[in-house]
Amino acid sequence: MENACHQYLLQIQKAKDMLVVLEAEMHNVKTHLKSKPDDAYHMRELKQITLDMTITLNELEHCQSMFDDCMVTYSKAGEKYND
C-alpha cells in the first residue's frame, strides 16, 4: 500500500487551496460592487464564485469523509498510516 489514504489528503489540500483563491476573488468582487452595486458583470461573477465555493466545499467534505473511511479501513486491518 503506497499510503492509500494519501490521495485523499492531496485532494483535501487542493480543495483548501482553491477556497483561498476563491475567497480572494470574492473579496475583490465585493469590493468592486461596493462602489458600483449595479454592475451586472460583477454580479454574475459573484454568483459564479459563490457556486464554485459551494462545489469546492462539497468536494472538501467528500474527500474528508473518504479519508476518514480510509483511515478506519486501514486501522481495522492493523496497518498504520504515515503521512
| DSSP letter string, 4-70 | TTHHHHHHHHHHHHHHHHHHHHHHHHHHHHHH-TT-HHHHHHHHHHHHHHHHHHHHHHHHHHHHHHH
Q: What is the mean pLDDT of residues 7-33?
A: 97
In this predicted structure, the answer to whether residue 77 has a pLDDT above a threshold of 70 is no
Q: What is the mean pLDDT of residues 69-78?
A: 80
- Please state, rounded to an integer, the average pLDDT across all residues of the chain: 90
CATH pick for 6-75 out of 3.40.1130, 1.20.58, 1.10.3470, 1.25.40? 1.20.58
CA separation for the pair 34, 28 (Å, rounded): 10
Q: Among 7-11, 23-27, 76-80, where is mean pLDDT lowest? A: 76-80
Confidence bin at 1 (pLDDT 50/70/90): very low
Q: What is the mean pLDDT of residues 18-23?
A: 98
Provide the residue type at 41 as one letter.
Y
| Per-domain boundaries in the chain | 6-75
Q: Could you tell me if 20 and 57 are in contact, meaning their C-beta atoms sit under 8 angstroms apart?
A: no
